[in-house]
Amino acid sequence: MIANHSSHAEASDPCVTRQEPGNESATIVAHFVSNKDKPQEACGVFGIYAPCVTRQEPGNEVAKLAYFGLYALQHRGQESAGIATFSGETVHIHKHMGLVSQVFNETILSQLTGSIAVGHVRYSTTGSSHLANAQPVVVETRLGSLTLAHNGNIVNTIELRQKLEQRNCNLLATTDSEMIAHAIASEVNSGKEWLEGAISAFGSCQGAFSLVIGTPAGLMGVRDPNGIRPLVIGILENHPQRYVLASETCGLEIIGAEYLRDVEPGELVWIAEAGLASFHWTPKPDKKLCIFEMIYFGRPDSFMEGESLYSYRMRLGRYLAQEVPADVDMVIGVPDSGIPAAIGFSQESGINYAEGLIKNRYVGRTFIQPTQKMRETGIRMKLNPLKDVLAGKRIAIVDDSIVRGNTSRLLVKALREAGATEVHMRVSSPPVTHPCFYGIDTDSQDQLIAATKSTEEIEGQLGLDSLAYLSWEGMLKATGEDPNSFCSACFTGDYPIPVPEPLKRSKLMLEKLGRVIN
């Protein structure tokens, strides 16, 4: 049973496009001021199982905890947000386009009662950015409602969709996440129980999927056999019956939950009245954590592979300084993701670090569509150079990646206009030459600047005095882990999960032409 299903777009919804009469350029849209030159993460997932709510605690406690968990994971997706809660057999759900703080308020959260919650923040990679594709997904089964939040992409969507349509599944959205939910529902409706049905459905899904799944009987956390996208387990207030699932540890810490461990590749954890049970649903797990999670996506205070991502990124900067030093007066970082590597570069090289760019942290979303001229200078909305710091200086600017290069070009121009006499760029990852099929929204290959141009050509296009990247070997060595336990396909084209040819052809436009620059 579904109650309070408030996912429809209302006339008062600030994310509904409106046309101002007589001024086409004033079309108000849900427009994100984001760095389009960076890879965009698919989403963040969150779940909580807390049946032991005392009489002193409000019935919407799990919804509030989910709200703050999603707030901490907001960097993983800014297009839509949603929370579904279970109160017995009844599901309460609210999801809308927008940021977590825009989608929820005290009144809405007060209606999301229960002891189980599933939450999601989304950036679209499969399925367009529309309300119908917002999550959690809710489907009905013979055992009751199922709610699902998904991070990643499956690659066999065409095959799976055909299979579900043959079973007369009512697919309403255009996402692979909905297909996973219906695949589970179909198995359950055929007579299987929750766990058996879920495990059977996962066998039909190929690709990357970290899932949080709510049912009236309990909460599931699941990772694909390669564990490409992260998922962690926490315990709330040291209580043996209150468990939390989140894409990153920062989603645990904000609500005072203690990190227990990661959900392992190919593992399903089932959290119910009896506690937490673990099932390894695939016979051949082969860990391939996305290396970009560590380089860029994860919050620097999140822990992966036993340490904070801040520490890893500082080490990348140290290795970068060893491999490709720069004869400069000052090291600066691109806020925020390039700063830890810039500090590491400074410490290793002995060159002073300074803040040469100030980020406007209150610019995150605007409803006004800028003109093309405004877009060309739009980087100033987020990053503003400090002229008195930069004037007359030779600068090494450190960033975590270059994808298309448009923003980097504007940034270099702004640094020169601020008085920098030389601008050298050092990148704490290798050149991105291949698109991702596992949950990162990267362009087709012909839009990736390093796939079509040499380092020297990129250097000229960006207006740099020099450009150098960290080596692939250095990037993996800095993890301190087995290099084979990471997916680095965006740098090498070595995809750990086979990608169907039609999907490959849609993005790998240059392979047959032999134009990839190594």
Closest CA to 34 of 407, 415, 452, 497: 407
pTM of the predicted model as reported, rounded to 2 decimal places: 0.88
Q: pLDDT at position 221, please?
A: 98
What is the per-residue pLDDT across 127-168, written as a single tens digit (0 to 9) for each? 555 777 889 999 999 999 999 999 999 999 889 988 898 888
Q: Choose between 125 and 63: higher pLDDT.
A: 63
Q: Residue 81: its pLDDT value, please?
A: 96
C-beta of residue 462 within 8 angstroms of C-beta of residue 409:
yes
Q: What pLDDT is recorded for position 168?
A: 84
User: How far apart, in Å, are the Cα atoms of 193 and each of 178, 199, 355?
Assistant: 20, 10, 57
Mean pLDDT of 227-234: 98
Average pLDDT, the chain: 86
Three-state SS for 468-510 is: EECCHHHHHHCCCCCHHHEECHHHHCCCCCCCCHHHHHHHCCC
Domain final residue, candidates 254, 287, 320: 287
Within a domain: residue 492?
A: yes
pLDDT, greater one: 428 or 38: 428
Residue 23 lies in a domain: no
18 within domain boundaries: no
Report if residue 15 sits inside a domain.
no
Query: What is the Cα–Cα distance from 171 to 455, expressed in whole angstroms?
Result: 46
Residues 279 and 320 in one domain: no
Of 99-103, 290-294, 503-507, least confident by mean pLDDT is: 503-507
Q: Give yes or no: residues 65 and 208 share one domain.
A: yes
How many domains does the chain divide into? 2
Do 213 and 320 have their domain in common?
no
Q: What is the DSSP string of 365-413?
A: EEEEPPPHHHHHTGGGGTEEE-HHHHTT-EEEEEES--SS-HHHHHHHH
Q: pLDDT, tens digit, for every residue of 450-483? A: 999 999 999 999 999 999 999 999 999 999 999 9
Do 350 and 210 fall into the same domain?
A: no
Mean pLDDT on 38-53:
79
Average pLDDT over residues 101-109: 96
- How big is the CA angle at 415 (ends 326 and 445), to the nearest 5 degrees? 75
Q: What is the pLDDT of residue 359?
A: 87
Q: What is the pLDDT of residue 22?
A: 36
User: Residue 271: pLDDT band by 50, 70, 90 thresholds?
Assistant: very high
Q: What CA–CA distance (Å, rounded) separates 139 from 2?
A: 10
Q: Does one domain contain both 78 and 194? A: yes
* pLDDT band for position 123 (cuts 50, 70, 90): confident
Assess whether 48 and 93 both reside in one domain: yes
Q: Comparing C-alpha atoms, which of 488, 486, 48 is closest to residue 265?
A: 486
Question: Of the given ranges (28-37, 85-94, 169-178), which has the lowest mean pLDDT?
Answer: 28-37
> Do both 81 and 226 map to the same domain?
yes
Question: Confidence band (pLDDT; 50, 70, 90) for 237?
Answer: confident
Please identify which of the residues 15, 43, 169, 250 carries the catalytic annotation.
43
CA nearest neighbour of 289 among 272, 271, 275, 303: 303
Q: Which CATH number goes with the domain that contains 49?
A: 3.60.20.10
Residue 48 has pLDDT above 50, yes or no: yes
The answer to whether residue 300 is domain-embedded is: no
Same domain, 82 and 194: yes
User: Are 249 and 232 in contact, with CB atoms under 8 Å apart?
Assistant: yes
CATH number for the domain spanning 498: value is 3.40.50.2020
Same structural domain, 247 and 347: no
301 falls within a domain? no
Give the confidence band of 375 by pLDDT, cuts at 50, 70, 90: low
Residues 317 and 281 in one domain: no
In the chain, what percentage of residues exceed pLDDT 70?
83
Same structural domain for residues 426 and 371?
yes
pLDDT tens digit sequence for 314-368:
999 999 999 999 999 999 999 988 999 999 999 999 999 999 999 887 655 444 5
Q: Give pLDDT, residue 394.
A: 98
Tens-digit pLDDT profile for residues 491-512: 999 999 999 988 887 777 554 4
Same domain membership, residue 251 and residue 351: no
Tell me whether residue 43 is one of the annotated catalytic residues.
Answer: yes
In a domain, 182, yes or no: yes
Segments forming the whole domain that contains residue 64: 3-7+37-287
